[in-house]
Chain A
């Protein structure tokens, strides 16, 4: 199985094919050559043949090309097949190598264990031998001693027997005989103190046996490794989880566990979130039916015939938030900018918001280019825009899991200045139409209870503020009234006194219409002071032009294009349009109107 041979073989195959091709090309070339060669001994015959051959030449040419293409295809196929074989071969070799290694190690372990046992047994036997020998040696000593004692006795007795002194004999013979009698009575223990047999218990080789057995048994898998959350892989209700095996374990199936992470851990552990489980064979899973903008804890185990792996590390994943909701009535715009406000759309906080805008063409087609403003920290954004365009603006909420779906878009037209009224500043007697642009002061008396205790509403002047976009430059809007409406219209600082009348203080500027029995009176009030003016044609549509840079607030009779009055004031802060009705009546605000040229001369 030499790779080189195979490769060589393949090359050889190709070479053969190439040769074949060459040969076929050559032969056809030769053919054509033969056919086409003009000088020939038998000119006349060849001439006629020549024609036919010429025709055949063309055909043959085509056939040759066809065959050549087919052969080339074949070659390519063979090459890829050979490539595959090569890959398989490599894999098998790898696997084989690994298995070999594995077995080697295994058997090494077994051998080691066995030799260990052997040593142990040997040691034990040695011990036994030693103790037996000692025992026997002791016995031997005792015997020797006994022998010596007997010998001594016998010698003494003999000596006594042989002694000439009969008197000494008589003296000692009796005790000596007694001693010999006693001695003879002594039983001599001739049994061996130890048995000669060795105690060889059966070696406990059970664990070796299991080891041998387990060579063919696959080990239980080790803990899988769960991947951290991939960006943009989550949706509002699902998460895509992936994991991998640390080593090349065999795994039959995986079990994925997950549970939501609660915001506050309850004091008692009675309410612990349920753990859900998914069993699957792949190393990835899309978990669905989850809550948006929520954190989940996930871990996975691998199982095979041998058993279950330990659990992987617990990973924290987050689902994507729900899309925000743009607050239509709280958005405003001017030719150079728009202020968009929205609700988060999620009960828990998100990391940031992304605002997206697309230009819309005059024919309603959307531009394919979307501009995005990322990392918006709060639920509002002031965006710079081009004048005279239409934009579709939407918002996404973003957390670790990724961005939410787009919110419902809002259309912004950068023609003129556009704003809604700040309804929570409206005096209780003021009611506002559905579309938000007409205010009414009704005849009916409101009960005291209806008087709001809100800090923000006007309490004496029946007034309301408008939500002008906080951008400097020029702004223009128009107010429609009728001849008999007594009104005040102009601008005021956001913190203008709510218990005061528009124009009566230093924080508001307004045009005032008073209807007296004899005539119409017009005032232009600031700080309670007005210039003395007479206007002969009563304006019913009033243009209000605010220029922050020049510090002017001008009023016009729109129908006549007539300038009425200009306040000159350096506005310290941003101002809001203000409107009030001094007597029952109505007025309508018109905006998104491009300021006429004459308003900003």
Chain B
């Protein structure tokens, strides 16, 4: 597949680039950001996939999260795709900020009119990695995933649904139990239909209860002053309870004073990169 370079900026000794391509899963042009650390000039690097949250594009992460210095130091390639298909002209896709454009929820939609284009799960877990491995100096065995909010939910479910595929997983203020929160309920009923049993396949809390596979080590940071936490959109306690019971290792940190913004992400990005590095460079 052909990649078109959209932008390239030298950053932290490496390069922050943005590419565009024709996605086969999403049937539209998709952009994604990729950070190449200095190590990539000479060696194969591990790859961390970052999934952004509601309303984001590939730009928010690369301009606000402050990931490049850490990535350069530890020699990690960071790939940040967009959050939904764009320009598909689906009716109603721009109606709300938490459904449709910019709110793909990292599922493979089964309902019309979404099912043709809204296949973010397949895009993130299949198409994108193939594309990245074919075009950049990557070590295909060394992949990890992380994200924020809706992207946090995406990271968790990708890891839980693909035991062994991701060497590390972490999340910032993830939507842990979408089936139980307004956001999730809205998105799932739209993309997956009314049958709640089909929602379970995309709910981290449910998936954790039945997870079996190589041991995970999940790092979750959550701002204590996050308005969405208090609005019961995120529900981390549910996930923690299940993981405690199923002995899935999680370290959940409630950070006092922090909110839901990229300022919060920026503050702990280094810790997460270190967490990923431990497993990617092992």
Interface, chain A (partner B; CB < 8 A): 519, 531-537, 557, 560-565, 597-598, 601
Contacts and interface: CB of A to CB of B under 8 A. Distances in A.
A175 B175 CA distance: 187
Given A561-B217, A562-B217, A536 B247 contact: yes
A531 B224 CA distance: 11
Contacts, number: 59
A537 B247 contact: yes
A536 B275 contact: no
B253 A531 contact: yes
Given A562-B251, A564-B251, 17 more contacts: A531-B254, A532-B253, A532-B256, A534-B244, A534-B254, A535-B251, A536-B243, A537-B243, A560-B215, A561-B278, A562-B217, A563-B219, A563-B275, A565-B251, A597-B282, A598-B278, A601-B274
A562 B277 CA distance: 13
Contact of B249 (A537, A598, A601): A537
14 contacts: A532-B253, A533-B251, A533-B252, A536-B243, A536-B249, A537-B250, A557-B249, A560-B215, A561-B278, A563-B251, A563-B275, A564-B251, A565-B251, A601-B277
A534 B274 contact: no
Contact of A534 (B247, B252, B256, B277): B252
B239 to A, nearest CB: 9
Nearest to B245: A536
Interface in B233-282: 240, 243-244, 247-256, 274-275, 277-278, 282
A562 B251 CA distance: 9
Contacts of A561: 217, 278
Contacts of B282: 597-598
Nearest to B250: A536
B216 to A, nearest CB: 9
Interface residues of B, number: 22
Given A532-B224, A533-B251, A536-B243, A560 B278 contact: no
B250 to A, nearest CB: 4
Contact of B244 (A519, A532, A563, A564): A519
A536 B219 CA distance: 11
Contacts of B215: 560
A475 to B, nearest CB: 20
Contacts of A519: 244
Contacts of B247: 536-537
A401 to B, nearest CB: 59
Contacts of A564: 251
B244 A560 contact: no
Main secondary structure of the interface of B (DSSP, over half): mixed
Nearest to A534: B252
A537 B247 CA distance: 5
Contacts of B275: 563
A533 B224 CA distance: 11
Given A562-B217, A598-B278, A536 B244 contact: yes
Nearest to B274: A601
A560 B249 CA distance: 8
Nearest to B222: A532
Contacts of B243: 536-537
Contacts of A562: 217, 249, 251
Nearest to B217: A562
Given A537-B247, A557-B249, A601 B217 contact: no
Contacts of A534: 240, 244, 250-252, 254
A537 B252 contact: no
A560 B251 CA distance: 12
Contacts of A565: 251
A531 B240 CA distance: 17
Contact of B254 (A532, A536, A537): A532
Nearest to B248: A536
Contacts of B240: 534, 536
A560 B275 CA distance: 13
B240 to A, nearest CB: 5
A560 B278 CA distance: 12
Contacts of B277: 601
Nearest to B256: A532
B87 to A, nearest CB: 42
Interface string B207-231: 0000000010101000010000000
A560 B274 CA distance: 16
Nearest to B277: A601
B103 to A, nearest CB: 28
A468 B213 CA distance: 40
Given A519-B244, A536-B247, A537-B248, A563 B253 contact: no
Contacts of B255: 531-532
Nearest to A520: B244
Contacts of B217: 560-562
A82 to B, nearest CB: 85
Contact of B278 (A536, A537, A601): A601
A532 B229 CA distance: 15
Nearest to A537: B249
A519 B245 CA distance: 11
Nearest to A560: B249
A536 B224 CA distance: 19
Given A519-B244, A536-B243, A536-B247, A563 B278 contact: yes
Contacts of B252: 533-536
Contacts of A533: 251-254
A356 B243 CA distance: 55
Nearest to B252: A534
A121 to B, nearest CB: 120
A434 to B, nearest CB: 35
Nearest to B242: A536
A476 to B, nearest CB: 15
A532 to B, nearest CB: 4
Contacts of A537: 243-244, 247-250
A392 to B, nearest CB: 36
